[in-house]
Structure 1
Amino acid sequence: MRRLDAGAPLRTAMQAAGLDIPTLAARTKEVDPTGEGLSRSMVGFIVGSGRTAREECSDRAAELIAAALGREVSELFEAPVFTLTESTSTRRSAMGERRKSDLPERLMDQRELAAFLRKSMSWIDAQISEARRQGELWPGLIYVGNSRRFDPHAVLAALRRQRAA
């Protein structure tokens, strides 16, 4: 599940219920049929607003937090939207057949790619904008829902080709 509005409804519901992170974590244990609940750190990641906050969590975690706050899951979270990689048309897709081997083993987010390339995140943004101005997709850029992911091998290969030219 993906939290709505970067977790603002979660924090508002917590404030309305008069709960802080440790108390909410304890309440998830009370509403969990198994009695496990969520740890304070997990709750902090999900409801937080800092750089360690997570936009996504498991269905179970979303259900426990919503139940502990006495809210519906849909008020606080949304199910992620999946994009089909192939056409649903009966005609052959213009993309052609995509095999599992075509996908990279690991995708990086922009922060990881910047550290990997030893470049700044703004440099990556500038490269993507320049490619977009030229009507192209920056090599290695893959959109997953609303977020960008990068195939580091494709990015490196494109940078090597660019240097050789």
Structure 2
Amino acid sequence: MRRLDKGAPLRAAMKAAGLDIPRLAAKTKDVDPTGKGLSAAYVGFIAGQGKTAREECSDRAAELIASALDKEVGDLFGESSLFLTLESTSTRRSQIKGERKPELPERLMDQRELSEFLRKSRSWIDKQIQDAKQRGETWPGLIYVGSSRRFDPHAVLDAMRQRAA
């Protein structure tokens, strides 16, 4: 989730509730069904204004903070700011004649985004890729773009569902 207006509505809600960062963090423990809540440091990153402030946070963190402030998530946070262009923004064109590039999915994720999307660690993804390589396969959804790895999240999910069935 992406905080709205650089966290201004969040800070206003905190002020209206009479909560500072440590008290809000403690209150997230009260509203969390697991009882864990959020650390004061994490709440500070989300609510802060300085160099360490974060624009993005997990859905869980946004829900706990909104619940602790007795607000709707949409009042404090918006959707992620990820977007895709349908046209290339590159000013440089390939010099290889006659070579057709493979069709790429509409949305590719880097490993960090995929790990958040799947709620798995980056090392888990690395292990899956290594295991597939040892079997002589390519991990479903893995696409090399230049020298960096990108992932088609739909192909990864489909393969995970097939394996679970």
TM-score (norm 2): 0.55
Structure 1 outlier segments of 4+, above 3 Å: 84-87, 103-106
Question: Deviation string for 1:101-123 (max 9, x for gaps)?
Answer: 116538xxxxxxxxxxxxxxxxx
The aligned runs of 1:1-165 (5 Å cut-off) are 1-84=1-84, 97-98=103-104, 100-102=143-145, 105=148
2: CA distance, partners of 1:68 / 1:103: 45
1: CA distance, partners of 2:48 / 2:76: 13
Q: CA deviation at 1:86?
A: 5.9
Equivalent pair of 2:2/2:81 in contact (CA under 8 Å): no
**What RMSD over aligned residues (CA atoms) do the two structures have, in Å?**
2.5
Relative to structure 1, the CA distance from residue 103 to residue 30 in structure 2 (aligned partners, 3 Å threshold; closer, same or farther) is: farther
Please give the secondary structure, in 2, of the residue aligned with 1:54. Answer: coil
1: CA distance, partners of 2:71 / 2:146: 39
1: CA distance, partners of 2:56 / 2:62: 9
Q: CA deviation at 1:85?
A: 6.2
Gaps of 5+ in 1: 88-94, 107-165
Q: Name the structure 2 match of 1:139.
A: none
Number of equivalenced pairs: 100
2: CA distance, partners of 1:96 / 1:86: 15
Identity %: 64
Question: Deviation string for 1:108-145 (max 9, x for gaps)?
Answer: xxxxxxxxxxxxxxxxxxxxxxxxxxxxxxxxxxxxxx
Q: CA deviation at 1:83?
A: 2.9
Question: Deviation string for 1:18-67 (max 9, x for gaps)?
Answer: 00000000000000000000000000000000000000000000000000
Letter aligned with residue 101 of structure 1: Y
Please give the secondary structure, in 2, of the residue aligned with 1:100. Answer: strand
Please give the secondary structure, in 1, of the residue aligned with 2:37. Answer: coil
2: CA distance, partners of 1:28 / 1:66: 9
Q: CA deviation at 1:100?
A: 1.9
Equivalent pair of 2:46/2:53 in contact (CA under 8 Å): yes
Equivalent pair of 2:14/2:20 in contact (CA under 8 Å): yes
